[in-house]
């Protein structure tokens, strides 16, 4: 971030590189139950991001010392594929993905009713197949859908979006170039109904006013994204998607 560049990220008309306005988010598509083996799963495409999430559990927590006698432990694992970014990423956990796994686990723990199943763990495997900025909140948004499809009891859905500062303007949902060459990035996730914040991180600098504006924009966007989550979940249970109604014949 803050890398000097002569690239114009927002043109004179206020249009961003990919043709979006300040408060426009990239197109989002979520598909649920894409994996046969997992208890719940989701595939998300958010702009150029492609993320697969699989949820297993609740199941007895192993190794045993990780068990919590009072609640379930959510173990999220965020992993980027070696081919997910321009330059090959060395496979395996690193500083960044360990941190993201941690913040995602904590954000999800705030939503899941973990007190209901002591001594268990819920595994959330997040595989970033293609990365294009904003993967942590995209992962979190998709993970929440996967948890719901796995039938895990939750207080609320988790939904996130990022905002940031580019060319001295506050814009929503940074793209890869805006993230790399912009001035600040603020990923944030909330519980979709109560708007309680479960994740905020900031890279770069924002003034108090800018921060307020950015969070306000994110909060507004989460309503739109939450609607996409709900559509994605209920799609599989539409009347059109019931099994063929021709049992009379054959």
Partner 1 sequence: MIDTREIKEIVFPGDDIDPGNLKARNGMHRDSEGKYTSQFFGVLQRGEEYIDVVPFNGSYFPRRGDKVIGKVMDVGPSMWTVDIKSPYMTMLHMNDTPWRTISGDIKKFLTSGDYVYAKVMNVNEVKESWITLKEPGLGLRKLEGGHIMAIPAPKVPRMIGKNGSMVNMVKDATFTRIVIGQNGLIWIDGTPENVIVASEAVALIESEAHATGLTDRITEFLKSKKGEINGNTQ
| Residue 151 contacts partner 1 per CB under 8 A | yes
Instruction: Return the number of the residue (84 or 229) whose C-beta is nearest partner 1.
Output: 229
Binding segment for partner 1 among 131-139, 166-174, 203-211, 225-233 (CB under 8 A)? 225-233
Could you tell me the strand order of the sheet in which 28-32 lies?
28-32, 40-46, 49-60, 120-130, 73-80
| Minimal distance, residue 85 CB to partner 1, in Å | 33
Q: Where are the alpha helices (DSSP H) in 182-247?
A: 208-235
Q: Compute the distance between CA of residue 160 and CA of residue 94 in angstroms, rounded to an integer.
A: 23
CA distances from 234 to 38, 108, 148, 187, 207 (A): 18, 21, 11, 27, 40
Query: What tokens does 57 get?
Result: 């559990």
Nearer to partner 1, 186 or 233 (CB): 233
**249 contacts partner 1 (rule: CB under 8 A):** yes
Give the tokens for residue 29.
Answer: 């598509």
Is 40 an interacting residue with respect to partner 1 (CB under 8 A)? yes
Closest CA to 126 of 236, 197, 198, 49: 49
**Do the strands 73-80 and 120-130 form a parallel or antiparallel pair, or are they unpaired?**
parallel
196 forms part of the interface with partner 1 (CB under 8 A): no
Minimum Å gap between C-beta 236 and partner 1 is 8
Q: Is 82 in the site for partner 1 (CB under 8 A)?
A: no
123 touches partner 1 by CB under 8 A: no
Instruction: Candidates 29, 88, 102, 193: give the one binding partner 1 (CB under 8 A).
Output: 193
CB of 54 to partner 1, least distance (A): 14
Sorted by sequence, the CB contacts under 8 Å of residue 199 that are 6+ apart come out as 103, 104, 106, 107, 136, 137, 140, 160, 187, 188, 189
- According to CB under 8 A, which one of 118, 130, 180, 219 is a site residue for partner 1? 118
Q: Which is nearer to partner 1, 44 or 186 (CB)?
A: 44
Kindly list the residues in this chain that would bind partner 1 in the complex (CB under 8 A): 39-40, 57-60, 69, 111, 113, 116-120, 148-157, 191-194, 229-230, 233-234, 237-239, 242-243, 245-250
């Amino acid at each position: 971030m803050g890398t000097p560049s002569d690239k114009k990220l927002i043109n004179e008309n206020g249009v961003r590189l990919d043709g979006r306005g300040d408060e426009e988010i990239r197109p989002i598509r979520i598909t649920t139950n894409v994996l046969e083996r997992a208890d719940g799963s989701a595939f998300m495409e958010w702009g150029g991001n492609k993320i697969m999430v699989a949820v297993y559990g609740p199941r007895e927590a192993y190794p045993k010392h990780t068990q919590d006698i009072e609640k379930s432990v959510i173990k999220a694992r965020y992993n980027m594929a070696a081919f997910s970014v321009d330059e090959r990423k060395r496979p395996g956990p690193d500083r960044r993905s360990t941190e993201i796994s941690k913040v995602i686990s904590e954000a999800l723990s705030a939503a899941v009713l973990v007190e209901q199943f002591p001594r268990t763990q819920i595994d959330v495997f997040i595989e970033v197949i293609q990365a294009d900025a904003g993967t942590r909140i995209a992962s979190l948004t998709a993970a929440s859908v996967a948890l719901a499809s796995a039938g895990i009891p939750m207080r609320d859905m988790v939904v996130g979006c990022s905002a940031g500062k580019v060319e001295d303007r506050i814009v929503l949902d940074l793209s890869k170039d805006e993230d790399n060459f912009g001035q600040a990035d603020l990923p944030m996730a909330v519980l979709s109904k109560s708007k309680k914040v479960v994740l905020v991180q900031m890279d770069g600098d924002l003034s108090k006013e800018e921060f307020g504006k950015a969070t306000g924009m994110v909060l507004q966007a989460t309503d739109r994204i939450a609607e996409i989550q709900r559509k994605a979940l209920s799609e599989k249970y539409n009347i059109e998607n019931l099994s063929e109604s021709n049992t009379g014949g054959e």
